[in-house]
Chains A and B, each alone.
Chain A
Amino acid sequence: MFEFNYLQAKSLSEAAAFVAANPDAKLLAGGMTLIPTLKQRLAQPSHLVDIGGLPELRGIEVKAGKLVLGAVTRHHEVAVSAVVRQALPALAYLAEQIGDPQVRNRGTVGGSIANNDPAADYPAAVLALSATIVTTRREIGADDFFHGMFETALEEGEIVVRLLFPLPQRAAYAKFPHPASGYAMTGVFIAETKTGIRVAVTGAGPGVFRWSDAESALAKQLDPAALDGLGVATDDMNEDFHATREYRANLVKVMAKRAVQKLLEIS
């Protein structure tokens, strides 16, 4: 690792002021992506500002029909939370599928979405559920938040404070994990709400995206068979030595069908 200075933030305002004044400083929450990145010398921040322990960024509650997650809530906490399991069980399930137990004990929901890894799990839930991202400066809707591979609407020095998930009627997540890393080769999150069906896909393309053809098809017929005739454009898929574009395009359909099936099994 290159040298840096570590600062344990005492408050959100201190962290926000510090990163605003130090453009080469980086925020540290769970560190599950940042620390491996530093170990590989792929980044050279001047400072790490640790916000992982800030009480004002923690917490899980249901308020005004929405599940509220503090930004540094850890994946394990979401997975085992009685509140999440009751209000939004698909999200507890998703959190339980992230990485491995050691990663889930450290990684945070805010870190996951701010990093916006194209194979991260949380972006699929945030987009399908049309969550709102509350930052130190404003509220951002999920449709405006994710801007493709590792890019988001967050400005320099803007910090994710909490996420608000409107509670759906039903929701389900189906994921094909990479067998070694646990990242989503493809993950599909489907949310059924009063206003319709939303289908969000992670892992398959350069960033999380909504599969609008599937949303229209499922609006007409909420059944895995409704997706049979749909094609997924292979040009838009990721390709690497783990899987070809065609393989990922097929996974999108298979995982979407599994997610629909799981959704239908919820009474």
Chain B
Amino acid sequence: MTKIELTVNGTQYSREVEDRTLLVDLIRDQLGLTGTHVGCDTSQCGCCTVHLNGRAIKSCTMLAVQASGAEIVTIEGMAKDGKLHPVQQAFTDCHALQCGFCTPGMIMAVAALLKDNPHPIDEEIYHGLEGNLCRCTGYINIVKAVKQAAQTTK
């Protein structure tokens, strides 16, 4: 067991974890933030995407102990003061989801993409979302939502 301290959505946490605990399991099971999903066991689906010190990472492919001292943002940390994040709003407006399981990871990936590239063209959107799979194949509306969010994100 190792003691770690980290900040998640602005709140500081201190926890004892087994060294082999994945970051996503810490987030879901110990912190109760179940918006971060696990869609595969092979690091391919991107459902577990969170921001680690401002960059998108797959929380299923990182140990909780590696995140000690880090600042994490999950889907629960995106809305501010009861107002959806522009990417969340765009996903709602464009109906950029079908079953919704991939959506938290998609939103975290899109928010990170727009931070690096505020006005991506279609090819850049495809390239930027290569780490996220939508098994409903609802990509058309996801791309629309990225474009809307690019317009509304300040």
Contacts and interface: CB of A to CB of B under 8 A. Distances in A.
Contact of A101 (B42, B63, B112): B112
A6 B55 contact: no
B41 A52 contact: no
Contact of A6 (B19, B58, B113): B19
Contacts of B42: 36, 39-40
Contacts of B19: 3-6, 48
A205 B131 CA distance: 25
Given A6-B19, A102-B46, A180-B44, A52 B131 contact: no
A182 B132 CA distance: 12
B131 A3 contact: no
Contacts of A181: 44
B61 A35 contact: yes
Most A CB atoms within 10 A — which of B49, B63, B109?
B63
Nearest to B18: A3
A101 B22 CA distance: 19
Interface in B1-49: 2, 18-20, 22, 41-44, 46, 49
Contacts of B61: 31-32, 35-36, 102, 106
A32 B131 CA distance: 13
B118 interface: no
B114 to A, nearest CB: 12
Given A36-B42, A102-B46, A182-B130, A2 B20 contact: yes
Contact of B130 (A28, A39, A101): A101
Contacts of A102: 46, 49, 56-58, 61, 109, 131
Interface in A179-206: 180-182
B62 A35 contact: yes
Given A2-B20, A3-B19, A181-B44, A101 B113 contact: yes
Most B CB atoms within 10 A — which of A8, A39, A102?
A102
B128 A101 contact: yes
A99 to B, nearest CB: 7
18 contacts: A3-B19, A4-B19, A31-B63, A32-B61, A36-B61, A39-B22, A48-B19, A99-B130, A100-B130, A101-B112, A102-B49, A102-B58, A103-B58, A105-B52, A105-B55, A105-B57, A180-B44, A182-B130
